[in-house]
Amino acid sequence: MQKFIARRMVVTVFTILLVSLIVFVMVRVSGDPRTLLLDDYASIEDYDELTANLGLDKPLFTQYAIFLRHALVLDFGDSVVDEQPVTATILQRLPATLQLGLAAFIFSLVIGIPLGILSSVKRDSVWDHVGKVVALLGQSLPPFWLGIMLMFFFAVTLDWVPPSGRFEWNSFILPAITLGWFTTAANMRLVRSSMLTALDSEYIKLARAKGVSESVIVWKHALKNAIIPPLTFMGVTLGTLVTGSIVAEAVFAWPGIGLLAFDALRQSDYAMLQGIIIFFTLMYVGTSLAVDILYAYLDPRIRFA
């Protein structure tokens, strides 16, 4: 188990390094930052001074080393737009995004898993059909459209919840559904198919022949096996729910990192974008690592591999 975790950690570090390299290169090829930072009346001296300040006169490798050294202490420089430190702004916006991502994640689990189990156990029943509709809609409705429609019906027409912004608990509902529905549908379908496989297995036949009651068969014998494949997916989605919040945050004016990224993109604030990408990477890779460890805990075949 320790060996497995150690191995996974090493891989994680390399992943982060690789992403940092890609981000570094992408920023270098996406254009000259000096033309953005300087106004039209800047002199050659201003230009050279900025070049020295930014370290752009040093060799690329040295530049990368400097970038890494700063990144190590989460220093991504100042925003091009408001000249505040990028990290401080991201950290300030982080809680809103984490809360929304978590709310969407919980929504996708609370709806997706039970519905998946129900549709597999009561195959071809009303539940199964409800599940199919949820899955179809969830995987085919574009989130921006879904968000606007939800806002139109529940906030504008019915006036049950606030249309946008981050206030009371009820302001979470619509953005969380918008962000989480795709994942809910995917969770539901994965749990369903995985449960159907498990319920059809020999060990379930044996459990029945041992006189195990149907509820114990479903919740203990089958689910513990069936949950393993969807779990990987859920872990990955936890990452995407946090990092993929750009659309939901933009539609609902949710003051998180997604909206920050959206604004940074419009204002060509690539210092900010660079910081956000690295942050998103850290979160994504971090959750993947956590899931793999949990996975190993659940499946003894991996634990001892």
Partner 1 sequence: MNQPLLSVEDLHVRFRTPLGDVHAIRGISFSIERGQIMGLVGETGCGKSMTGRSILRLVPQPGEITRGRILFEGRDLMPLSEDEMHKIRGERIAMIYQDPAAALNPVFSIGQQIFMVMEQHQANSDVDTRQRVIQLLEDVGLPEPMTLYNAYPHELSGGMQQRAMIAMALSSDPSLLIADEPTTALDVTIQAQILDLLITLQRSRGISILLITHNLGIVAETCQRVVVLYAGRIAEQGDVGDIFHRPHHPYTKGLLAALPNPGSRGNALNVIPGRVPSGLDLPPGCTFAPRCEYVMDHCSQHQPGLFTVSPSHEAACFLHEEVGGKKP
Burial 273-296 (b: 16+ CB within 10 A, else e): bbbbbbbbbebbbebbbebbeebb
Which residues have CB under 8 Å from 250's CB, separation 6+?
144, 258, 259, 262
Which lies closer to partner 1 via its Cβ, residue 160 or residue 203?
Answer: 203
Which lies closer to partner 1 via its Cβ, residue 198 or residue 278?
Answer: 198
Tokens of 291: 């899931």
Say which DSSP state 122 is in. Answer: T
Give me the residues that bind partner 1 (CB under 8 A), please: 201-203, 205-214, 216, 221, 224-225, 228, 298-301, 304
**Distance in angstroms (rounded) separating the CA atoms of residues 250 and 145:** 12
**Distance in angstroms (rounded) separating the CA atoms of residues 283 and 290:** 10
CB of 221 to partner 1, least distance (A): 6
Which lies closer to partner 1 via its Cβ, residue 1 or residue 65?
Answer: 1
Q: Across the strands, what pairs with 78?
A: 85
Which lies closer to partner 1 via its Cβ, residue 191 or residue 261?
Answer: 191
CB of 233 to partner 1, least distance (A): 18
CB of 9 to partner 1, least distance (A): 25
CB of 196 to partner 1, least distance (A): 13
CB of 236 to partner 1, least distance (A): 21
Which lies closer to partner 1 via its Cβ, residue 129 or residue 224?
Answer: 224
